[in-house]
Amino acid sequence: MTIDNMSEIQQDHRESDCAAIRNGVEKNIETWLSKYPCLISKISDNSFYVVAEKQDIDDMISRKFDILDKIRNYTYDGKYVGVTLSVGVGTGADVAECEKNAKLSLDMALGRGGDQVVIKNKDKYDFFGGVSKSVDTGSKVKSRVVASALAELIQGCENVYVMGHRFPDFDAIGSAFGVVCIAKKLGKNAFLVTDKEKTMAKPLIERAETELPGVVVSTETAKLEFAKSKKNLLIIVDTHIKSFVESPDLLSMSKMTIVIDHHRKAVDYIDDAVIFFHDPSASSASELVTELIEYIPAVDETGSFVADALLSGIMLDTKNFILRVGVGTFEAAAKLKDFGADPIRVKKLFSNDIESYHERNRIVDSARKYKNCAIAVADVESKDIRLISAQAADELLTISGVDASFVIFTLGDAVCVSARSFGAVIVQVIMEYMNGGGHQTMAAVQVKNSTVAEVTERVMHSIDRYNSSLNKSEV
């Protein structure tokens, strides 16, 4: 286990106060563990190693690891200090396997933003906590190191292929164009791999046909060309989950893969990436790519199109600079403005036609309130149903007393859920209960072999489960 954010606390407190805070947190941990006949060893200023028996772990589970709440609510001199705890628990056939799984669990907990317990048992992960927002450290050291390594790997290959997740949105496509720009500035062939008909960022794709002709290719074309060279580099943006990528086949073909993502770490992550640039405190993948651009000397400018694309990704995932906005977000936006991004031009990318506007309003009108959430079923037929449902989910958040929204719609043979919040409810956790995912304020799931009614019931059950985990009273 590790205390997540002591380095940030040290920036705001005197050394003597930091020592007192650390001692107070340690005392809480020791008091919690004193109930169990376990071994505890301090391995660094902020980290601990604990050996406990299975029946004691089971008791901790039954109590939902209440130590998380105690640490989160810890006060010093009558004030909350914002300290949190991350715990990785591993089980196995022997001590070595337990230790290995515990380390993997802790990495998972930290990769999901901290303030949680992750338990790994064979190939299964269980999660507890994770209700705090990720801490933005403001440090650019990692970005600078990653940028240098990224440039070196790009220069060592012949072709660069970039892809995001299935049904890519403006952040996936925008960040992908940013990476394409980096590769081209370094003198390499670069391609964005996507299905033009299934993207939620069609205005960007349409502009790319003129601005960057030949860059956007289909998955089938990419696989054919990929097989012709051994010096390919595959870069994944806006997702780190194997099953979510645009083309799992292309991922399996790649011998050298880079991941750039901001979503909280999920179970089925790409575990063999040569660079895994992952920051759940960032607003978007587009923000991360913009940071990388700043540290690659060859990229002295991106051009207005790529700048617009990156800014559109930031604006989408922050809901126009409302959510998950840190200092780095505004710094990235300022840099893109210098590169030629036009906020008005970007805003027009999100415009709807009158038919889509009416369809979105019909979905909003159908919503009903359940506990502190709004749930709506999209009973409309549209080729842009995914986009319209996401917009409707955003709109539902403007209703008084609604902390989260869920729009349920049918897409092909699957029933899908688009979930949104302003941060009071972590919709990622709710969607994970249904084997979906995303990030804290924007998440989704696809459910096959189920009806809309069944999925609606599962959404309500997951909301209840989430509220129960927080020990919330029903609203």
pLDDT higher than threshold 70 for residue 273? yes
Q: Is 282 inside a domain boundary?
A: yes
Q: CA nearest 302: which of 469, 216, 182, 420?
A: 182
* Lowest-pLDDT choice from 68-82, 201-215, 243-257, 331-345: 68-82
Please report whether residue 136 resides in a domain.
no
**Residue 137 above 60 pLDDT?**
no
Q: How far is CA 127 from CA 88, 108, 466, in A?
A: 10, 10, 12
Q: Based on the domain organization, do 89 and 64 belong to the same domain?
A: yes
Asked if residues 165 and 245 have their Cβ atoms less than 8 Å apart, the reply is yes
CATH at 341: 3.90.1640.10
Domain limit, last residue, from 293, 322, 349:
349
Instruction: Give the separation between CA 319 and CA 313, rounded to whole angstroms.
Output: 10
CA pair distance 6, 21, nearest whole angstrom: 9
Number of domains forming the structure of the chain: 3
Q: What integer pLDDT is reported at residue 158 of this predicted model? A: 94
**Alpha-carbon Rg for the chain in angstroms:** 23
Domain shared by 75 and 122, yes or no: yes
**Would residue 32 count as lying in a domain?**
yes
Under the banding of pLDDT at 50, 70 and 90, the label for residue 143 is confident
Contact indicator for 445, 431 with CB cutoff of 8 Å: yes
Query: Looking at the structure, do residues 178 and 120 belong to the same domain, yes or no?
Result: no
178 lies in the same domain as 218: yes
Q: What is the CATH number of the domain that holds 391?
A: 3.10.310.30
Task: State the Cα angle at 11 between 9 and 17, rounded to 5°.
Answer: 60
- The pair of structure tokens assigned to 259 is 């991941």
Q: How confident is the model at residue 475 (pLDDT cuts 50, 70, 90)?
A: very low
pLDDT at 216: 97
Looking at residue 139, its pLDDT comes to: 54
Q: Do 283 and 414 belong to one domain?
A: no
CA 83 and chain centroid, separation: 22
Q: How far apart are CA 70 and CA 73, in angstroms?
A: 5
* 372 and 287 belong to one structural domain: no
Q: Are residues 117 and 152 in the same domain?
A: no
Contact 438, 444 (CB under 8 A): yes
**CA-CA distances (angstroms) from residue 33 to 28, 45, 49, 279, 360?**
9, 18, 12, 31, 52
Q: Are residues 251 and 275 in the same domain?
A: yes
**Residues 255 and 150 reside in one and the same domain:** yes
**Higher-scoring residue by pLDDT: 81, 237:** 237
**pLDDT score for 165:** 94
- Of the listed ranges 103-112, 190-199, 418-427, the least confidently predicted one is 103-112
Tokens linked to 318? 């922050």
The C-alpha atoms of residue 193 and residue 250 are separated, in whole angstroms, by 10
Is residue 475 one of the residues assigned to a domain? no
Q: Can you spell out the DSSP letters for 363-421?
A: HHHT-EEETTEEEEE-----TTHHHHHHHHHHHHTTSTT-SEEEEEEEETTEEEEEEEE
User: Does residue 134 form part of some domain?
Assistant: no
Residues 305 and 167 placed together within one structural domain of the fold = yes
Single out the residue in 129, 151, 178 at which a domain terminates: 129
Contacts of 461 (CB under 8 A, 6+ apart): 433
Q: Which domain holds residue 94?
A: 2-129
The stretch 218-227 carries a mean pLDDT of 95
Does residue 395 lie within any of the structural domains? yes
Per-chain mean pLDDT for the chain: 90
- Whichever domain contains 53, its CATH number is 3.30.70.270
pLDDT tens string 54-106: 999 999 999 889 999 899 888 888 877 778 899 999 988 888 989 988 998 89
Number of neighbours of residue 191 by Cβ within 10 angstroms: 22
In terms of DSSP H, where are the helices of 192-266? 202-211, 219-226, 248-253
pLDDT score recorded for residue 191: 97
pLDDT greater at residue 325 or residue 383: 325
Instruction: Tell me if 318 is assigned to some domain.
Output: yes
Question: What DSSP assignment string belongs to 106-151?
Answer: HHHHHHTTSSEEEEEETTEEEEEE--SPPP-----HHHHHHHHHHH
Q: Among residues 79, 97, 129, which one ends one of the domains?
A: 129
Distance CA 303, CA 183 (A): 14
Question: From CA 466, how far away is CA 226, in angstroms rounded?
Answer: 44
In a shared domain, residues 326 and 370: no
| One domain for residues 98 and 190 | no
